[in-house]
A = this chain, B = another copy of it.
Amino acid sequence: MNAKAEINDNNIKFKDSVGIVEKKLLHFNNAEKKLLLDCGQILFPFILAYETYGQLNAKKDNVILIFHALSGDSHAAGYYSEEDKKPGWWDMMIGPGKAFDTNKYYVICSNVIGGCMGSTGPSSVNPQTGKPYCLTFPQITINDMVKAQKMLLDELGIKKLFSVSGGSMGGMLGLQFMINYPDMLDSAILFATTARLSAENIAFNAVGRMAITSDPNWNNGEYYDKQPPDAGLAVARMLAHITYLSREILKEKFDRKLQDKEKYSYDFNIDFQVESYLKYQGYSFVRRFDANSYLYITKAMDYFDLTDKDGKLTPAFRNLNKNMKVAVVSFTSDWLFPTAMSKMIVNALKSQNIDVTFCEVNSNRGHDAFLLEKEKLTTIVKGFLENVERK
Protein backbone atom coordinates (compact mmCIF):
# COMPACT_ATOMS: atom_id res chain seq x y z
CA MET A 1 0.00 0.00 0.00
CA ASN A 2 2.69 2.43 1.01
CA ALA A 3 4.93 1.32 -1.82
CA LYS A 4 2.09 1.83 -4.28
CA ALA A 5 1.35 5.28 -2.93
CA GLU A 6 5.00 6.15 -3.30
CA ILE A 7 5.06 4.97 -6.89
CA ASN A 8 1.98 7.05 -7.54
CA ASP A 9 3.64 10.05 -5.94
CA ASN A 10 6.67 9.49 -8.09
CA ASN A 11 4.49 9.15 -11.16
CA ILE A 12 3.05 12.56 -10.42
CA LYS A 13 6.45 13.93 -9.48
CA PHE A 14 8.17 12.70 -12.62
CA LYS A 15 5.27 13.18 -14.99
CA ASP A 16 6.06 16.75 -15.98
CA SER A 17 9.74 16.78 -15.05
CA VAL A 18 12.87 15.96 -17.02
CA GLY A 19 13.12 12.86 -14.80
CA ILE A 20 16.36 11.55 -13.35
CA VAL A 21 19.33 13.71 -14.22
CA GLU A 22 23.05 13.46 -13.69
CA LYS A 23 25.63 16.03 -12.73
CA LYS A 24 28.56 15.92 -15.15
CA LEU A 25 32.05 17.22 -14.45
CA LEU A 26 34.19 18.63 -17.23
CA HIS A 27 37.90 18.73 -16.38
CA PHE A 28 39.81 21.50 -18.05
CA ASN A 29 43.33 20.13 -17.77
CA ASN A 30 44.63 20.78 -21.24
CA ALA A 31 47.32 23.44 -20.80
CA GLU A 32 45.84 25.33 -23.76
CA LYS A 33 42.58 25.76 -21.88
CA LYS A 34 43.68 28.10 -19.13
CA LEU A 35 41.30 30.64 -17.73
CA LEU A 36 42.85 34.10 -17.49
CA LEU A 37 40.97 35.91 -14.73
CA ASP A 38 40.16 39.63 -14.44
CA CYS A 39 42.38 39.83 -11.36
CA GLY A 40 45.37 38.87 -13.52
CA GLN A 41 45.79 35.36 -12.15
CA ILE A 42 45.30 32.15 -14.11
CA LEU A 43 42.94 29.38 -13.03
CA PHE A 44 44.29 26.04 -14.22
CA PRO A 45 43.38 23.24 -14.12
CA PHE A 46 39.74 23.58 -13.21
CA ILE A 47 36.47 21.68 -13.28
CA LEU A 48 33.02 22.80 -14.37
CA ALA A 49 29.97 20.92 -13.11
CA TYR A 50 27.02 21.02 -15.46
CA GLU A 51 23.73 19.33 -16.27
CA THR A 52 21.75 19.08 -19.48
CA TYR A 53 18.06 18.51 -20.07
CA GLY A 54 16.41 17.59 -23.40
CA GLN A 55 18.17 16.62 -26.64
CA LEU A 56 20.69 18.54 -28.69
CA ASN A 57 19.35 18.61 -32.24
CA ALA A 58 21.44 17.79 -35.30
CA LYS A 59 21.98 21.45 -36.20
CA LYS A 60 22.98 22.17 -32.60
CA ASP A 61 20.80 25.27 -32.70
CA ASN A 62 18.31 24.48 -29.92
CA VAL A 63 20.53 25.25 -26.94
CA ILE A 64 19.40 27.39 -24.00
CA LEU A 65 22.01 28.19 -21.38
CA ILE A 66 20.63 28.85 -17.90
CA PHE A 67 22.63 30.80 -15.30
CA HIS A 68 22.00 30.26 -11.62
CA ALA A 69 21.86 32.86 -8.82
CA LEU A 70 24.16 33.29 -5.79
CA SER A 71 23.09 30.19 -3.93
CA GLY A 72 22.10 28.08 -6.95
CA ASP A 73 24.01 25.38 -8.78
CA SER A 74 24.01 23.27 -11.95
CA HIS A 75 20.98 21.30 -10.75
CA ALA A 76 18.31 23.42 -12.42
CA ALA A 77 15.72 20.71 -13.12
CA GLY A 78 14.76 17.08 -12.49
CA TYR A 79 15.74 14.70 -9.72
CA TYR A 80 18.97 12.93 -8.88
CA SER A 81 17.19 9.70 -7.95
CA GLU A 82 13.77 8.11 -7.53
CA GLU A 83 13.96 8.89 -3.83
CA ASP A 84 14.99 12.52 -4.29
CA LYS A 85 12.41 14.75 -2.60
CA LYS A 86 13.26 18.08 -4.20
CA PRO A 87 13.85 18.83 -7.89
CA GLY A 88 16.39 21.30 -9.29
CA TRP A 89 16.02 24.98 -8.44
CA TRP A 90 14.16 26.04 -11.63
CA ASP A 91 12.17 22.86 -12.22
CA MET A 92 9.03 24.99 -12.48
CA MET A 93 10.49 26.49 -15.67
CA ILE A 94 12.48 23.66 -17.27
CA GLY A 95 10.88 20.41 -18.48
CA PRO A 96 8.63 18.87 -21.13
CA GLY A 97 5.98 21.40 -22.07
CA LYS A 98 7.30 23.96 -19.60
CA ALA A 99 8.56 27.49 -20.30
CA PHE A 100 11.96 26.16 -21.32
CA ASP A 101 10.44 23.19 -23.08
CA THR A 102 12.82 20.23 -23.05
CA ASN A 103 10.81 18.62 -25.87
CA LYS A 104 12.20 21.38 -28.07
CA TYR A 105 15.27 22.78 -26.39
CA TYR A 106 18.53 21.42 -25.08
CA VAL A 107 18.97 23.18 -21.76
CA ILE A 108 22.36 23.47 -20.09
CA CYS A 109 23.13 24.78 -16.61
CA SER A 110 26.61 24.98 -15.11
CA ASN A 111 27.78 25.75 -11.59
CA VAL A 112 29.83 28.98 -11.57
CA ILE A 113 33.54 28.88 -10.84
CA GLY A 114 34.09 30.00 -7.27
CA GLY A 115 31.08 27.87 -6.32
CA CYS A 116 30.93 24.79 -4.15
CA MET A 117 28.68 22.40 -6.04
CA GLY A 118 31.17 20.69 -8.34
CA SER A 119 32.88 23.56 -10.16
CA THR A 120 36.29 24.64 -8.91
CA GLY A 121 36.14 27.09 -6.03
CA PRO A 122 37.84 27.91 -2.73
CA SER A 123 36.85 24.54 -1.23
CA SER A 124 38.46 22.61 -4.13
CA VAL A 125 41.83 20.98 -3.76
CA ASN A 126 44.61 22.99 -5.35
CA PRO A 127 46.54 20.38 -7.38
CA GLN A 128 49.75 22.33 -6.78
CA THR A 129 49.56 21.85 -3.01
CA GLY A 130 47.19 18.93 -2.55
CA LYS A 131 45.20 21.08 -0.11
CA PRO A 132 42.02 23.13 -0.48
CA TYR A 133 42.60 26.55 -1.99
CA CYS A 134 40.90 28.42 0.85
CA LEU A 135 41.78 32.11 0.40
CA THR A 136 44.56 31.33 -2.09
CA PHE A 137 41.74 30.83 -4.59
CA PRO A 138 41.87 33.86 -6.88
CA GLN A 139 39.03 36.38 -6.67
CA ILE A 140 36.70 35.74 -9.57
CA THR A 141 34.26 38.04 -11.35
CA ILE A 142 31.00 37.62 -13.24
CA ASN A 143 33.04 37.98 -16.43
CA ASP A 144 35.33 35.11 -15.33
CA MET A 145 32.30 32.91 -14.62
CA VAL A 146 30.95 33.64 -18.09
CA LYS A 147 34.30 32.98 -19.79
CA ALA A 148 34.48 29.58 -18.08
CA GLN A 149 30.99 28.69 -19.34
CA LYS A 150 31.98 29.73 -22.86
CA MET A 151 34.84 27.22 -22.60
CA LEU A 152 32.30 24.58 -21.60
CA LEU A 153 30.22 25.36 -24.71
CA ASP A 154 33.37 25.11 -26.85
CA GLU A 155 34.09 21.67 -25.40
CA LEU A 156 30.53 20.58 -26.13
CA GLY A 157 30.88 21.82 -29.72
CA ILE A 158 28.13 24.39 -29.30
CA LYS A 159 28.67 27.49 -31.38
CA LYS A 160 25.29 29.16 -31.12
CA LEU A 161 22.72 29.62 -28.34
CA PHE A 162 19.05 29.97 -29.00
CA SER A 163 18.79 31.79 -25.70
CA VAL A 164 20.35 32.46 -22.34
CA SER A 165 18.38 33.09 -19.18
CA GLY A 166 18.74 33.58 -15.46
CA GLY A 167 17.52 35.60 -12.50
CA SER A 168 19.35 37.84 -10.04
CA MET A 169 23.08 37.03 -10.39
CA GLY A 170 22.06 34.70 -13.23
CA GLY A 171 20.77 37.76 -15.09
CA MET A 172 24.15 39.44 -14.61
CA LEU A 173 25.84 36.46 -16.26
CA GLY A 174 23.30 36.76 -19.06
CA LEU A 175 24.14 40.43 -19.62
CA GLN A 176 27.86 39.67 -19.59
CA PHE A 177 27.40 36.80 -22.05
CA MET A 178 25.50 39.12 -24.43
CA ILE A 179 28.41 41.57 -24.31
CA ASN A 180 31.24 39.02 -24.57
CA TYR A 181 29.83 36.76 -27.29
CA PRO A 182 27.29 38.77 -29.27
CA ASP A 183 27.38 36.54 -32.33
CA MET A 184 26.58 33.42 -30.34
CA LEU A 185 23.15 34.60 -29.21
CA ASP A 186 19.69 34.80 -30.69
CA SER A 187 18.02 35.99 -27.49
CA ALA A 188 18.23 36.51 -23.74
CA ILE A 189 15.66 36.55 -20.93
CA LEU A 190 16.77 38.37 -17.81
CA PHE A 191 14.85 38.23 -14.53
CA ALA A 192 15.11 40.47 -11.46
CA THR A 193 18.59 41.62 -12.29
CA THR A 194 20.79 44.68 -12.56
CA ALA A 195 23.71 46.06 -14.55
CA ARG A 196 25.40 47.14 -11.31
CA LEU A 197 24.91 46.62 -7.60
CA SER A 198 23.78 49.68 -5.67
CA ALA A 199 25.43 50.98 -2.50
CA GLU A 200 22.57 49.35 -0.55
CA ASN A 201 23.16 46.00 -2.30
CA ILE A 202 26.88 46.19 -1.51
CA ALA A 203 26.11 47.16 2.08
CA PHE A 204 23.97 44.06 2.65
CA ASN A 205 26.62 41.84 1.04
CA ALA A 206 29.35 43.45 3.15
CA VAL A 207 27.47 42.78 6.40
CA GLY A 208 26.92 39.16 5.33
CA ARG A 209 30.64 38.76 4.66
CA MET A 210 31.42 40.42 7.99
CA ALA A 211 29.18 37.88 9.76
CA ILE A 212 31.20 35.04 8.17
CA THR A 213 34.67 36.47 8.70
CA SER A 214 33.80 37.40 12.31
CA ASP A 215 33.04 33.76 13.11
CA PRO A 216 36.20 32.39 14.78
CA ASN A 217 35.57 29.07 13.00
CA TRP A 218 36.14 30.86 9.72
CA ASN A 219 39.83 30.91 10.69
CA ASN A 220 40.91 33.10 7.79
CA GLY A 221 39.23 30.69 5.39
CA GLU A 222 41.05 27.57 6.58
CA TYR A 223 38.35 25.38 8.09
CA TYR A 224 37.91 22.47 5.69
CA ASP A 225 39.36 19.93 8.12
CA LYS A 226 37.69 21.62 11.11
CA GLN A 227 34.35 22.93 12.30
CA PRO A 228 33.15 25.31 9.55
CA PRO A 229 31.83 28.84 10.30
CA ASP A 230 28.21 27.69 10.32
CA ALA A 231 26.97 30.39 12.67
CA GLY A 232 28.43 33.21 10.60
CA LEU A 233 27.17 31.77 7.31
CA ALA A 234 23.72 31.24 8.82
CA VAL A 235 23.55 34.90 9.91
CA ALA A 236 24.67 36.00 6.43
CA ARG A 237 21.97 33.85 4.84
CA MET A 238 19.24 35.00 7.23
CA LEU A 239 20.06 38.60 6.46
CA ALA A 240 20.16 37.98 2.70
CA HIS A 241 16.92 36.03 2.94
CA ILE A 242 15.08 39.06 4.32
CA THR A 243 16.18 41.00 1.23
CA TYR A 244 14.74 38.28 -1.03
CA LEU A 245 11.28 38.66 0.48
CA SER A 246 8.81 41.51 0.33
CA ARG A 247 7.26 43.28 3.29
CA GLU A 248 3.86 42.15 1.95
CA ILE A 249 4.68 38.45 1.86
CA LEU A 250 6.26 38.60 5.32
CA LYS A 251 3.05 40.13 6.62
CA GLU A 252 0.89 37.64 4.76
CA LYS A 253 2.91 34.58 5.82
CA PHE A 254 3.93 35.53 9.36
CA ASP A 255 2.79 38.96 10.48
CA ARG A 256 3.28 38.85 14.29
CA LYS A 257 2.19 35.22 14.71
CA LEU A 258 3.76 33.48 17.68
CA GLN A 259 5.55 30.15 17.52
CA ASP A 260 3.81 27.30 19.36
CA LYS A 261 2.48 29.50 22.12
CA GLU A 262 -0.05 32.12 23.03
CA LYS A 263 2.18 34.40 25.06
CA TYR A 264 5.58 35.99 24.85
CA SER A 265 8.38 33.87 26.32
CA TYR A 266 10.06 36.83 28.06
CA ASP A 267 13.40 35.20 27.34
CA PHE A 268 15.64 34.86 24.29
CA ASN A 269 13.96 31.81 22.89
CA ILE A 270 12.17 32.21 19.60
CA ASP A 271 8.85 33.98 20.04
CA PHE A 272 7.71 34.79 16.52
CA GLN A 273 7.16 32.46 13.58
CA VAL A 274 9.21 34.75 11.35
CA GLU A 275 12.22 34.20 13.65
CA SER A 276 11.82 30.45 13.47
CA TYR A 277 11.45 30.55 9.69
CA LEU A 278 14.61 32.64 9.24
CA LYS A 279 16.63 30.45 11.59
CA TYR A 280 15.52 27.39 9.62
CA GLN A 281 16.55 29.10 6.37
CA GLY A 282 19.94 30.00 7.82
CA TYR A 283 20.75 26.59 9.22
CA SER A 284 19.51 24.58 6.25
CA PHE A 285 21.65 26.76 4.00
CA VAL A 286 24.89 25.95 5.85
CA ARG A 287 24.33 22.25 5.20
CA ARG A 288 24.59 22.82 1.46
CA PHE A 289 26.80 25.85 0.96
CA ASP A 290 30.43 26.74 1.60
CA ALA A 291 31.20 29.95 3.51
CA ASN A 292 34.26 30.83 1.41
CA SER A 293 32.23 30.42 -1.80
CA TYR A 294 29.69 32.81 -0.28
CA LEU A 295 32.48 35.36 0.21
CA TYR A 296 33.87 34.95 -3.32
CA ILE A 297 30.54 35.03 -5.11
CA THR A 298 29.11 38.03 -3.21
CA LYS A 299 32.33 39.89 -3.94
CA ALA A 300 32.00 39.02 -7.64
CA MET A 301 28.48 40.46 -7.52
CA ASP A 302 29.69 43.64 -5.80
CA TYR A 303 32.32 44.10 -8.50
CA PHE A 304 29.79 43.70 -11.31
CA ASP A 305 29.26 47.05 -13.01
CA LEU A 306 28.63 47.41 -16.72
CA THR A 307 28.47 51.21 -16.59
CA ASP A 308 31.31 53.47 -17.63
CA LYS A 309 33.04 56.20 -15.60
CA ASP A 310 30.08 58.52 -16.11
CA GLY A 311 27.59 55.90 -14.94
CA LYS A 312 26.34 55.29 -18.50
CA LEU A 313 25.31 51.78 -19.47
CA THR A 314 24.87 52.39 -23.19
CA PRO A 315 28.57 52.01 -24.13
CA ALA A 316 28.65 48.45 -22.76
CA PHE A 317 25.89 47.52 -25.21
CA ARG A 318 27.51 49.14 -28.26
CA ASN A 319 28.66 45.88 -29.88
CA LEU A 320 25.67 43.70 -29.13
CA ASN A 321 24.18 41.48 -31.80
CA LYS A 322 21.69 43.90 -33.38
CA ASN A 323 19.47 41.02 -34.44
CA MET A 324 19.00 39.59 -30.98
CA LYS A 325 15.81 39.84 -28.96
CA VAL A 326 15.91 40.50 -25.23
CA ALA A 327 13.24 40.16 -22.54
CA VAL A 328 13.77 41.98 -19.25
CA VAL A 329 11.46 41.01 -16.38
CA SER A 330 11.17 42.74 -13.01
CA PHE A 331 8.77 42.26 -10.08
CA THR A 332 6.73 44.96 -8.38
CA SER A 333 7.69 43.96 -4.81
CA ASP A 334 11.41 43.24 -5.48
CA TRP A 335 13.30 45.82 -3.41
CA LEU A 336 16.73 44.16 -3.82
CA PHE A 337 16.91 44.70 -7.58
CA PRO A 338 13.87 46.89 -8.09
CA THR A 339 12.19 47.71 -11.40
CA ALA A 340 14.30 50.86 -11.85
CA MET A 341 17.37 48.64 -12.27
CA SER A 342 15.64 46.65 -15.01
CA LYS A 343 14.50 49.85 -16.69
CA MET A 344 18.09 51.08 -16.80
CA ILE A 345 18.97 47.95 -18.80
CA VAL A 346 15.91 48.30 -21.03
CA ASN A 347 16.63 51.94 -21.84
CA ALA A 348 20.27 51.25 -22.67
CA LEU A 349 19.25 48.34 -24.94
CA LYS A 350 16.67 50.53 -26.70
CA SER A 351 19.23 53.24 -27.29
CA GLN A 352 21.25 50.60 -29.19
CA ASN A 353 18.16 49.62 -31.21
CA ILE A 354 17.99 46.18 -29.66
CA ASP A 355 14.55 44.54 -29.83
CA VAL A 356 13.71 44.50 -26.12
CA THR A 357 10.54 43.43 -24.32
CA PHE A 358 10.04 44.70 -20.79
CA CYS A 359 7.62 43.18 -18.28
CA GLU A 360 7.07 44.34 -14.73
CA VAL A 361 5.28 41.39 -13.16
CA ASN A 362 2.77 42.18 -10.45
CA SER A 363 3.88 39.96 -7.55
CA ASN A 364 4.01 40.16 -3.77
CA ARG A 365 6.85 37.61 -3.57
CA GLY A 366 9.75 40.08 -3.62
CA HIS A 367 13.05 39.25 -5.30
CA ASP A 368 12.34 35.51 -4.97
CA ALA A 369 9.42 35.91 -7.39
CA PHE A 370 11.65 34.69 -10.25
CA LEU A 371 11.77 31.33 -8.46
CA LEU A 372 8.06 31.22 -7.62
CA GLU A 373 5.75 32.91 -10.11
CA LYS A 374 5.42 29.85 -12.36
CA GLU A 375 2.34 30.78 -14.34
CA LYS A 376 3.22 34.37 -15.06
CA LEU A 377 6.80 33.58 -16.05
CA THR A 378 5.77 30.61 -18.18
CA THR A 379 3.42 32.84 -20.19
CA ILE A 380 6.12 35.45 -20.67
CA VAL A 381 8.89 33.01 -21.62
CA LYS A 382 6.75 30.87 -23.94
CA GLY A 383 5.46 33.92 -25.79
CA PHE A 384 8.90 35.42 -26.04
CA LEU A 385 10.61 32.25 -27.29
CA GLU A 386 7.89 31.65 -29.89
CA ASN A 387 8.51 35.15 -31.10
CA VAL A 388 12.26 34.48 -31.35
CA GLU A 389 11.57 31.25 -33.27
CA ARG A 390 9.42 33.10 -35.78
CA LYS A 391 12.27 35.44 -36.61
Interface flags, A301-342, vs B, CB<8A=1, else 0: 011010000000000000000000000000000010000000
**When the two chains form their complex, are residues B275 and A202 in contact, meaning their CB atoms are under 8 A apart?**
yes
* Residues of A172-212 contacting chain B, CB below 8 A: 196-200, 202-204, 206-207, 209-211
* Residues of A248-301 contacting chain B, CB below 8 A: 250-251, 253-256, 264, 266-268, 271-272, 274-275, 278-279, 282, 295, 299
**When the two chains form their complex, are residues B203 and A268 in contact, meaning their CB atoms are under 8 A apart?**
no
**When the two chains form their complex, are residues B215 and A272 in contact, meaning their CB atoms are under 8 A apart?**
no
For the complex, give the distance between the alpha carbons of A282 and B256 in Å. Answer: 28
For the complex, give the distance between the alpha carbons of A282 and B213 in Å. Answer: 14
For the complex, give the distance between the alpha carbons of A302 and B196 in Å. Answer: 34
**When the two chains form their complex, are residues A251 and B303 in contact, meaning their CB atoms are under 8 A apart?**
no
Residue A238 lies at the interface, judged by CB distance under 8 Å to chain B: yes
**When the two chains form their complex, are residues A239 and B207 in contact, meaning their CB atoms are under 8 A apart?**
yes
Whole-angstrom distance between the Cβ of A213 and the nearest chain B Cβ? 7
Interface flags, A208-228, vs B, CB<8A=1, else 0: 011101111000000000000
**When the two chains form their complex, are residues A199 and B256 in contact, meaning their CB atoms are under 8 A apart?**
yes
**When the two chains form their complex, are residues B279 and A199 in contact, meaning their CB atoms are under 8 A apart?**
no
**When the two chains form their complex, are residues B207 and A256 in contact, meaning their CB atoms are under 8 A apart?**
no
**When the two chains form their complex, are residues A202 and B238 in contact, meaning their CB atoms are under 8 A apart?**
no
> Which of chain B's residues have a CB closer than 8 A to the CB of A93?
none
**When the two chains form their complex, are residues B238 and A210 in contact, meaning their CB atoms are under 8 A apart?**
yes
A275-B242 contact in complex given A139-B266, A268-B295, C-beta closer than 8 Å: no
Whole-angstrom distance between the Cβ of A278 and the nearest chain B Cβ? 6
Whole-angstrom distance between the Cβ of A261 and the nearest chain B Cβ? 13
Contact of A264 among B213, B272, B303 (CB under 8 A): B303
User: Which B-chain residue is minimally distant from A254 (CB atoms)?
Assistant: B199
- Chain A: interface residue total (CB-CB under 8 A): 55
**When the two chains form their complex, are residues A214 and B199 in contact, meaning their CB atoms are under 8 A apart?**
no
Interface window among A148-156, A163-171, A229-237: A229-237
Residue A359 lies at the interface, judged by CB distance under 8 Å to chain B: no
For the complex, give the distance between the alpha carbons of A245 and B279 in Å. Answer: 25
> Which of chain B's residues have a CB closer than 8 A to the CB of A214?
215, 231-232, 234-235
Residue A88 lies at the interface, judged by CB distance under 8 Å to chain B: no
Whole-angstrom distance between the Cβ of A292 and the nearest chain B Cβ? 10
> Which of chain B's residues have a CB closer than 8 A to the CB of A245?
200
Residue A58 lies at the interface, judged by CB distance under 8 Å to chain B: no
For the complex, give the distance between the alpha carbons of A234 and B135 in Å. Answer: 23
**When the two chains form their complex, are residues A202 and B232 in contact, meaning their CB atoms are under 8 A apart?**
no
Whole-angstrom distance between the Cβ of A254 and the nearest chain B Cβ? 4
**When the two chains form their complex, are residues A199 and B238 in contact, meaning their CB atoms are under 8 A apart?**
no
Residue A247 lies at the interface, judged by CB distance under 8 Å to chain B: yes
A278-B238 contact in complex given A266-B139, A268-B209, C-beta closer than 8 Å: no
A200-B139 contact in complex given A210-B235, A210-B238, A214-B215, C-beta closer than 8 Å: no
The 5 closest A-B pairs by CB, nearest first: A214-B231, A39-B266, A199-B250, A139-B266, A206-B275
Apart from A197-B256, A199-B274, A235-B235, list 16 A-B contacts with CB within 8 A: A40-B266, A139-B266, A200-B245, A200-B250, A202-B272, A202-B274, A203-B275, A204-B242, A206-B272, A206-B275, A207-B278, A210-B279, A239-B239, A271-B299, A271-B303, A335-B335
**What are 21 A-to-B residue pairs whose CB atoms are below 8 Å?**
A38-B266, A39-B264, A40-B266, A196-B256, A198-B251, A198-B256, A199-B247, A199-B251, A199-B253, A199-B254, A199-B256, A200-B250, A206-B279, A207-B242, A210-B238, A214-B231, A214-B232, A214-B235, A256-B305, A268-B295, A271-B299
